[in-house]
C-alpha cells in the first residue's frame, strides 16, 4: 500500500485556534482547539498555533517529518503568494508574515489562505462541493464572506482580496456598513444585522416576547430565532427579511459566476428554513433559467472543520503537483 500523504491544517480565528492532522481523503486523525487570545500580541498567537499543531500531531502519533506541511486559514484579506496576513481587524494584525514565522518554529513548509477561500476548497474536496469545479461558498455569521472557486482553483483577484461578497451594495441609502459604504449585504443579512433589526422592533414595542427573552442579555440572532420558533411575528419577519436580502445577493452572484454549486456555511445557517428559505426562493425567482438549471444550492457539510481541512488539502495538493 502506498504511504498516505498527511498534512496539518489550522483555522486561525479571532477567538479560537483549531488545528487538525488530515490525510488526502479528508480523514481527520486528530485535532486540537484552544483560545486565540489575540490581545497578547502576534508572537504569543504564533506560539499558540505551533503548540496547537504539535498537540494534534502528538495525538495522531505523527512526527513533523511525516507531514508535507501546514496550511493555515486566516481571517480577512491576506497575500497567499507572500504568506502575509495583510489585514485582520479581529486579530489586530496588519502585514504579519505568518507563513515565515510559523514555518520556522514548526520546521515544516506552510501556506496560508483566506478563511472563506480555504473553506470553499475544503467543501470542494471533501464536502458539499465534491466533484464540482465551479463553486461559490458563502459564509454567514458576524460578517458575510465568500470563497470563489473557478475551474478547481481559488480565485483570489489581483492582491488576494477577492470574494468580499458581503459588501455587495443592495440598498444605496440603507444602513451604514462597517466598510464605510451603505446598504451592503453584510449590513442587511448578517447576524448583527438581524440583532439590530430585532432590537428596533423591541424598542418600537412590536415584540414583547423578544423583550422578555433578551432581558438582561444581548439580543442575538439565536434569540431572535428562539422567539420566531415560539411564534413571534416580529422575530419571524426580521429573519425572513434578512433572508430575502441574502437572496438578492445570491442572484447577482449566481448570474455573474454561473457556478455548479452554491454552498452556504457559517453560524447563521443554524437559522434554517426561516432564513435560507426566502434566500433560495429569491434566487430562484430572479436568477437566469440556465444559471439556475446548472447550480445546486446547498448548505456546507464540513461544519467548523471546513477551513482547516481546506487549508490542509491545499498544502497536500501543492506538495503533490
Ligand atoms: Zn460593506
Cell 423583550 sits on residue: 211
pLDDT in the model for residue 77: 84
The 10s digit of each residue's pLDDT in 15-38 is 999 999 999 999 999 999 999 999
Cell of residue 227, nine digits: 422567539
Terminal CA-to-CA distance of the chain, rounded, Å?
Answer: 20
Domain boundaries, the chain: 6-124+304-320, 131-300
Examine the pLDDT at 133 and tell me if it is beyond 70.
yes
What 3-state DSSP class applies to 55?
Answer: helix
Query: Is it true that 6-124+304-320 and 131-300 share their CATH fold?
Result: yes
Please give the distance, rounded to the nearest whole angstrom, from the Cα atom of residue 176 to the centre of ligand 1.
8
Please give the distance, rounded to the nearest whole angstrom, from the Cα atom of residue 29 to the centre of ligand 1.
39
CATH topology of domain 131-300: Nucleotidyltransferase; domain 5 (3.30.420)
The 10s digit of each residue's pLDDT in 77-124 is 899 999 999 988 888 999 999 999 999 999 999 999 999 999 999 999
Q: How far apart are CA 275 and CA 316, in angstroms?
A: 36
Examine the pLDDT at 3 and tell me if it is beyond 90.
no
| C-alpha gyration radius of the chain | 20
Please give the distance, rounded to the nearest whole angstrom, from the Cα atom of residue 12 to the centre of ligand 1.
23
Examine the pLDDT at 317 and tell me if it is beyond 80.
yes
Please give the distance, rounded to the nearest whole angstrom, from the Cα atom of residue 11 to the centre of ligand 1.
24
pLDDT in the model for residue 320: 86
Please give the distance, rounded to the nearest whole angstrom, from the Cα atom of residue 19 to the centre of ligand 1.
30
Mean of per-residue pLDDT scores for the chain: 95
User: 82-120: b or e for each residue (b if 16 or more CB lie within 10 Å)?
Assistant: ebbbbbbeebebeebbbbebbbebbebbbbbbbbbbbbb
Examine the pLDDT at 2 and tell me if it is beyond 70.
no
pLDDT in the model for residue 291: 96
Cβ atoms within 10 A of the Cβ of 222, count? 16
Confidence label for 49 from pLDDT (cuts 50, 70 and 90): very high
What 3-state DSSP class applies to 70?
Answer: strand
The 10s digit of each residue's pLDDT in 202-225 is 999 999 999 999 999 999 999 999
Rounded mean pLDDT, 154-168: 92
Please give the distance, rounded to the nearest whole angstrom, from the Cα atom of residue 178 to the centre of ligand 1.
6
Cβ atoms within 10 A of the Cβ of 314, count? 26
Q: How far apart are CA 175 and CA 162, in angstroms?
A: 23
Q: What is the CATH number of domain 6-124+304-320?
A: 3.30.420.40
For the chain, what is the total number of helices (H) and then of strands (E)? 11, 12
> How deeply is 143 buried, as exposed, middle or buried, from its count of CB atoms within 10 A (0-12, 13-18, 19+)?
buried
Please give the distance, rounded to the nearest whole angstrom, from the Cα atom of residue 283 to the centre of ligand 1.
21
The 10s digit of each residue's pLDDT in 227-265 is 999 999 999 999 999 999 999 999 999 999 999 999 999
pLDDT in the model for residue 89: 81
Please give the distance, rounded to the nearest whole angstrom, from the Cα atom of residue 190 to the centre of ligand 1.
11
Residues with Cβ within 8 Å of residue 209, at least 6 apart in sequence: 227, 230, 232, 235
Amino acid at each position: 500500500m502506498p504511504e498516505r500523504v498527511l498534512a496539518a491544517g489550522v483555522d486561525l480565528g479571532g477567538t479560537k485556534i483549531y488545528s487538525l492532522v488530515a490525510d488526502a481523503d479528508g480523514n481527520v486523525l486528530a485535532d486540537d482547539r484552544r483560545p486565540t487570545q489575540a490581545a497578547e500580541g502576534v508572537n504569543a498567537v504564533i506560539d499558540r498555533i505551533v503548540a496547537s499543531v504539535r498537540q494534534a500531531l502528538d495525538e495522531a502519533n505523527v512526527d513533523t517529518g511525516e507531514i508535507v506541511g501546514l496550511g493555515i486559514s486566516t481571517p480577512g484579506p491576506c497575500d497567499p503568494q507572500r504568506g502575509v496576513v495583510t489585514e485582520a481587524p479581529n486579530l489586530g494584525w496588519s502585514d504579519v508574515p505568518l507563513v515565515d514565522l510559523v514555518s520556522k518554529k514548526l520546521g515544516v513548509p506552510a501556506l496560508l489562505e483566506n478563511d472563506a477561500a480555504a473553506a470553499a476548497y475544503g467543501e470542494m474536496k471533501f464536502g458539499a462541493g465534491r466533484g464540482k469545479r465551479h463553486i461559490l461558498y458563502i459564509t454567514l455569521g458576524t460578517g458575510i464572506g465568500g470563497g470563489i472557486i473557478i475551474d478547481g482553483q481559488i480565485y483570489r483577484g489581483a492582491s488576494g482580496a477577492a470574494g468580499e461578497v458581503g459588501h455587495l451594495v443592495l440598498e444605496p441609502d440603507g444602513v451604514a456598513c462597517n466598510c464605510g459604504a451603505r446598504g451592503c449585504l453584510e449590513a442587511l443579512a448578517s447576524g448583527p444585522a438581524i440583532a439590530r433589526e430585532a432590537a428596533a422592533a423591541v424598542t418600537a414595542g412590536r415584540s414583547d416576547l423578544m423583550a422578555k427573552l433578551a432581558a438582561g442579555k444581548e439580543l442575538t440572532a439565536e434569540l431572535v430565532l428562539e422567539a420566531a420558533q415560539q411564534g413571534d411575528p416580529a422575530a419571524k419577519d426580521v429573519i425572513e427579511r434578512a433572508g430575502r436580502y441574502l437572496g438578492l445577493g445570491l442572484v447577482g452572484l449566481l448570474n455573474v459566476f454561473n457556478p455548479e454549486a452554491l454552498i452556504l456555511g457559517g453560524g447563521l445557517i443554524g437559522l434554517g428554513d426561516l432564513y435560507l428559505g426566502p434566500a433560495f426562493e429569491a434566487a430562484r425567482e430572479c436568477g437566469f433559467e440556465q444559471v439556475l438549471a446548472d447550480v445546486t444550492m446547498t448548505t456546507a457539510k464540513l461544519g467548523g472543520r471546513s477551513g482547516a481541512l481546506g487549508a490542509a488539502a491545499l498544502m497536500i495538493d501543492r506538495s503533490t503537483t
